A and B are shown apart, each in its own frame.
Chain A
Amino acid sequence: MSAMVHAGLGTGESAPGRIAAGGLDLTHGTVLYLDDISVSFDGFKALDKLSLTIDAGELRCVIGPNGAGKTTMMDVITGKTRPDAGTVFFGQTIDLTHLTEAEIAQAGVGRKFQKPTIFEHHTVFENLELSMKADKRVRKTLFAKLSSEERDRIAAMLARIGLAGDAGRIAGLLSHGQKQWLEIGMLLMQEPQLLLLDEPVAGMSDEETEKTAELFLSLAGRHSLVVVEHDMAFIEKIARKVTVLHEGSVIAEGPMEQVQNDPRVIEVYLGR
């Protein structure tokens, strides 16, 4: 039985889309490379020949009005939506358009949803346990036992996201801001190379937003981050390079002041 289940996972060298054992190939300093991505839903072009590069260790902010294609872009990167055309390369070798959601996550892409998505009926500790980087195949998970080193890692993360006193609490009982932090903690437990964060500070208090900005700045360098956010004050705090999307394409890219003064951006945001 279990042999049949595992057969689909493919450990053969020839399996297509297999992730190289040595980890991510970052030889050209690029962690993510979207090339000419197009996605349409019933004739509506959500993404229109979108091209975008994210450097290793970069913290990139993506802004744009509603319907600009920000969430669709994340869906394409994480395998939720298959593009009609174009390629998404993670590092130099991995084409994400051929992988499933789980394979993409295992390759090192973590995603935070717009609405905090945690396991509401599990404890805070269990949320981190389940997302922790590990062999996530059926048989391994059946016989998995937490090592003391893994417990320490979870404890360290609990302290880092300010939930050390809530380890045994049912996650559904946390406040909105705490849930956002728990989800960020779950992402970090996966030890991803690339984090995609969809409106991470929505519903947070000013103090929580402040702390989140500090956290993201401390993550940049070791991880690459792509942050989609509407909160301009937050963007200003963390942004080094900003990409503006409009109707599924990039209309401006650069430092915050430059983008803010770009006439096209002003037109898109303020209307004519």
Chain B
Amino acid sequence: MGPFASAFSRLYGAKGWAALGAVACVIFVVFPLLNLVVPAASPFHLSAYWVTLIGKIMCYAIVAMAMDLIWGYAGILSLGHGLFFALGGYAFGMYLMRQIGSDGQYRQNMPDFMVFLDWKEFPWQWWNSDQFWWCALLVVVVPGLLAFVFGYFAFRSRVKGVYFSIITQALTYAAMLLFFRNATGFGGNNGFTDFRRILDIPIATPQARMTLFAVSGAVLIGTLLLARWIVTSKFGRVLAAIRDAEQRVMFCGYNTVHYKLFVWTLSAVLCGIAGALYVPQVGIINPSEMSPANSIEIAIWVAVGGRGTLTGAIAGAGIVNGAKSYFTQAFPEFWLYFLGLLFILVTLFLPQGVVGALGQIRDKLRVRKITRMPPGKAS
């Protein structure tokens, strides 16, 4: 086998690749056809509502996988991942705000909130923000750098377990308070909204919407393959070993700080990219994305889907957010109760999450099949 073939077979078996191919086909062919080609009157037409909803959930699924890498594999529970997601969203949101040009309420070549605050020029944070490439760079660098610096000090000081989780909660809360202030320069509690264009193309057209959807799908699949490549490498086995017996890993000669720092920073960068894809699709970013509850919800997605499986993270993000979009319309006042109940039920009855439970059922069936076979053939 060549190096590529062996890398392929390392990630997934034939069935896994076939399933992934089918999903890619649905995202890149079936959905665009149903949305753009099938006429709106047809029952098979996929409405803009669904395109946006699924696109949004795919962004959440990227965040969930990033969370799974750090929590499910390295055993580090972050309750501040919403911050990295929001930072990516804000970084790209700056570009979207600049693309409004002078089409805002005040007809000036400046975001409305700046005109309202009577600012005469852009604050330093907005330097070069009319350049797509610059903001795309910030999407990666800002969450990555913050995570790197924070992680460096936290991991070097051996902050672990619940202490680490609480500090990450405090971090996202502090950032939320900072972003609520008008003086921070990002639109205060209103954040950014009213986007018009992206790369000079109108954003509210079906084609633009579908393009964002497809890009989110591509990043989702790319993230899955990257994460899978990492966790099936020796590095991934070291990560899981750190989760189970960090001291033994250190006494084996691994500098665990570097391992944790690498995966922590990567996880934050993935969240930032997801946030940047999320903002143009939902059309708004504000400091509430940094609220502590949002970050806790990310952990719930992963717990529901199943930790340490990657596909479980995707499933969890889909299940919880699908239920959320239904419940918040049908029974808006009960959503939080439902979410709490879901978390309790999963913790009690599905400690390995949905995907973990499916795996256990499959193993049981396999054992039954083997025991039913005539003696001598069981192998």
Contacts and interface: CB of A to CB of B under 8 A. Distances in A.
Q: Which of A78, A122, A136, A186 has the most CB of B within 10 A?
A: A136
B378 interface: no
A105 B144 contact: no
B362 interface: no
Given A1-B144, A2-B262, A138 B253 contact: no
A131 interface: yes
Interface in B214-249: 230, 233-235, 237-238, 240-241, 244-245, 247-249
A101 B238 CA distance: 16
B256 A102 contact: yes
Interface in A109-128: 110-111, 113, 117-122, 126
Contacts of B241: 119, 122, 130
B250 A117 contact: no
A89 to B, nearest CB: 19
Given A1-B265, A5-B261, A129-B234, A121 B240 contact: yes
B148 interface: yes
B237 A186 contact: no
A258 interface: no
Q: Which of B235, B245, B248 has the most CB of A within 10 A?
A: B248
A142 interface: yes
B258 A9 contact: yes
Interface string A1-24: 110111011000000000000000
B259 interface: yes
A119 B244 contact: yes
Contacts of B163: none
B237 A5 contact: no
B252 interface: yes
A126 B249 CA distance: 13
B379 interface: no
A105 B251 contact: yes
B250 A102 contact: yes
B258 A8 contact: yes
A186 B252 contact: yes
A137 B230 CA distance: 15
Contact of B250 (A9, A105, A122): A105
A117 B247 contact: yes
A142 B239 CA distance: 11
Nearest to A120: B244
B166 to A, nearest CB: 25
B255 interface: yes
A6 B262 CA distance: 10
Given A2-B262, A9-B258, A130-B241, A144 B233 contact: yes
Given A5-B261, A5-B262, A137-B258, A119 B245 contact: yes
Given A102-B255, A141-B238, A117 B262 contact: no
B234 A119 contact: no
Contacts of B237: 122, 126, 129-130
Contacts of B261: 5
Given A119-B244, A137-B258, A131 B233 contact: no
B252 A105 contact: yes
Interface in B168-193: none
Interface string A66-105: 0000000000001010000000000000000000111101
A80 B247 CA distance: 9
A110 B234 CA distance: 21
A2 B253 CA distance: 19
A200 to B, nearest CB: 15
Contacts of B148: 1, 4
Q: Which of B251, B256, B266 has the most CB of A within 10 A?
A: B251
B254 to A, nearest CB: 5
A138 B233 contact: no
Given A102-B253, A130-B238, 16 more contacts: A1-B144, A1-B262, A1-B265, A80-B247, A100-B250, A101-B250, A102-B254, A103-B255, A119-B244, A121-B244, A126-B237, A136-B252, A141-B235, A141-B259, A142-B235, A144-B234
Interface of B: 144, 148, 230, 233-235, 237-238, 240-241, 244-245, 247-259, 261-262, 265-266
Closest 6 CB pairs of A and B: A105-B253, A101-B250, A144-B234, A106-B253, A102-B255, A142-B235
24 contacts: A6-B258, A8-B257, A9-B255, A9-B258, A80-B247, A100-B255, A102-B254, A105-B252, A113-B247, A113-B248, A119-B240, A119-B248, A120-B245, A122-B237, A122-B240, A130-B238, A131-B252, A136-B252, A141-B233, A141-B234, A141-B238, A142-B230, A144-B235, A190-B252
